[in-house]
Amino acid sequence: MTATLTDLHAPLYASRSRSRRRLTGCLAASLVTLTLFAALPARAAAVDDAVAELQHDWEAIRYQSPAAEREKGFEALTAKAHKVSEAFPGRPEPLVWEGIIVSSWAGEKGGLGALGLVKQAKALYESAIAIDGAALEGSAYNSLGVLYYKVPGWPVGFGDKAKAKELLTKALTLNPKGIDPNFFYGEYLVETKQPQEAVTYLERALQAPSRPGRQVADTGRREEARALLDKAKAAR
């Protein structure tokens, strides 16, 4: 049988068809990739905005609300923070702030009834560290370190002064000039009967650069640092 022109060129047509399909597939994959990359900045901005809102809400409760209203305020804010963490899985920043808010609620609640909240905060900080401990300039290390020196030790709680120092030192390494890591390391030194050493860190906290958008927190923390500095100097 004599082959027709179409028969002779069939392999070529098939090859061209396969090439077009591959090209179409590659273009589609590229468009999907570009769409995903284009969405990343918007998602990052959404996380930043949500975390900033939690920060401002926390500041208002911590430094501007009457003491009698803080426990309920932090309880309500905890629910809001948990929704933010759920909305951005895999991001450490909401977990850090959820932990801070839960810790603050525990602090206002006080007593053994707060132990469950403290353990919850601990787990949140550890989850954030597992994702990226350097996020928010090491705030998870700092906040977890605070728990370790404030919570009672075994058999009541998990408190451990040596572990606290390890975590607080890590936070200082990541943010050596920050107001919070210097304040809390100074507080740790006061609570572990080292007032002379505490003075240096509390003075650094007072000299720390202001944080954009965190004026309320910075003002409140500086007031705390001044009071603790006076206490440390008197105990030397």
On the 0-12 / 13-18 / 19+ scale of CB atoms within 10 A, 141 is: buried
Q: Does the pLDDT value for residue 90 go beyond 80?
A: yes
Domain extents in the chain: 44-165, 176-236
Q: Does the pLDDT value for residue 64 go beyond 70?
A: yes
pLDDT digits (tens, 9 = 90+) for 119-167: 999 999 999 999 999 999 999 999 999 999 999 999 899 999 999 999 9
Query: How much is the pLDDT for 38?
Result: 45
Does the CA dihedral 151-157-162-168 come out positive or negative? Answer: negative
Whole-angstrom distance, CA of residue 168 vs CA of residue 86: 27
Whole-angstrom distance, CA of residue 86 vs CA of residue 146: 25
Query: How much is the pLDDT for 43?
Result: 64
Using 50, 70 and 90 to split pLDDT, how confident is the model at 113? confident
Query: How much is the pLDDT for 204?
Result: 98
| Residue with the larger pLDDT of the pair 231 and 19 | 231
Query: How much is the pLDDT for 146?
Result: 98
Q: What is the mean pLDDT of the chain?
A: 87
pLDDT digits (tens, 9 = 90+) for 15-55: 445 555 554 544 444 544 444 444 445 566 799 999 999 99
pLDDT digits (tens, 9 = 90+) for 166-186: 999 999 999 999 999 999 999
Fold of 44-165: 1.25.40
Residue 147 and residue 122 in contact, taking contact as beta carbons nearer than 8 Å: yes
Whole-angstrom distance, CA of residue 208 vs CA of residue 14: 70
On the 0-12 / 13-18 / 19+ scale of CB atoms within 10 A, 191 is: middle
CA dihedral of residues 152, 163, 168, 57 (deg, nearest 10): -40
Query: How much is the pLDDT for 21?
Result: 53
Of 137, 125, 136, 232, which Cα lies nearest the Cα of 188? 232
Task: Name which of 39-53, 66-80, 92-106, 131-145 the model is least confident about.
Answer: 39-53
pLDDT digits (tens, 9 = 90+) for 202-215: 999 999 999 999 99
On the 0-12 / 13-18 / 19+ scale of CB atoms within 10 A, 91 is: buried
What is the percent of the chain with per-residue pLDDT over 90, rounded to a whole number? 78
Using 50, 70 and 90 to split pLDDT, how confident is the model at 83? very high
Q: 155 preceded by cis ω (within 30°)?
A: yes
On the 0-12 / 13-18 / 19+ scale of CB atoms within 10 A, 164 is: buried
